[in-house]
Amino acid sequence: MPNLIVPSTAPDGYGCVLSITPERAGWEYIGFEVYRLSEGQTLSRGTGDKEAALVLLSGRADVKTGGERWDNIGQRMSVFEKTPPYTVYVPSQEQYEVTALTELELAVCLAPGQGNHQARLIAPEDVGVENRGSGSMSRLVHNILPEQKPADSLLVVEVFTDGGKWSSYPPHKHDRDELPEESRLEETYYFRVQPEQGFAVQRVYNDDRSLDETMAVKDGQAVMVPEGYHPVSAPPGYDVYYLNVMAGPKRIWKFRNDPDHDWLMK
């Protein structure tokens, strides 16, 4: 079953407000954390057997890892500025340190790593920007870490859906390891909503409806999608942002549209 994850009302001692582990999710691949650091606060962590993508959702920071250092990175103070983010890729068995230069919202995306790639900065100009869909299905997509870019497991993308529009639509799924038609990928959605008193709607369902859940998702909450179709709606008057993390046995995104709604692609 998908689960709606509600953030803590206050950060813990490390600044963490939301944490999803494979154990908590009941799956194999994805870990996801959100930190809210105050100016001058430092987060130090090791990746262990995971690779990480440190996505600066808002704010500026200095980041050190693997003998590399990137100072004063980050440009947007809100995700709704809609500029691509700064991200630092960190391989497995590395230490990283993030020092907030302003108030900082940091997403830490985790998946199994084999140490095949070096730490690197993914700057805004390295992010693929795409306007996907049309009409009431149009949305802005930032491809932060797509399958064409080096990583062991992680796929990371962020999506902006204006009020009154739909995304992850037509409904699609990627829960079978049956390439080349479909790949099996777990997925997390981390939501921000503007104005923040609003909500998004996400439905998660499978073909036989043994899973069929519809959730009102508030600002700062996350949804775990272990299987099934998973469309998102932004109610009129409320713009919706979400950060997607995907990982599975093969690092490729191949999805299947719900046959009932595939006609929308035509």
137 exposure class (CB count in 10 Å sphere: 0-12, 13-18, 19+): middle
Rounded to 5°, angle at Cα 140 from 197 and 254? 110
Q: DSSP character for 118?
A: -
Cβ–Cβ under 8 Å, residues 39 and 102: yes
Question: In this predicted model, what pLDDT tens digit does every residue of 56-94 receive, in sequence order?
Answer: 999 999 999 988 999 999 999 999 999 999 999 999 999
The structure tokens listed for 130 are 């795409």
205 exposure class (CB count in 10 Å sphere: 0-12, 13-18, 19+): buried
The average confidence (pLDDT) of the chain is 96
Q: Tell me the pLDDT band of 10, cut-offs 50, 70 and 90.
A: confident
Residue 248 CA to residue 155 CA, distance in Å, equals 9
For the question of whether the overall pTM of this predicted structure is more than 0.95, the answer is yes
Q: Is the pLDDT of residue 9 over 90?
A: no
Residue 29 CA to residue 24 CA, distance in Å, equals 12
Question: In this predicted model, what pLDDT tens digit does every residue of 94-133 receive, in sequence order?
Answer: 999 999 999 999 999 999 999 999 999 999 999 999 999 9
3-state secondary structure 213-248: EEEEEECCCEEEECCCECCEECCCCCEEEEEEEEEC
pLDDT at 1: 57
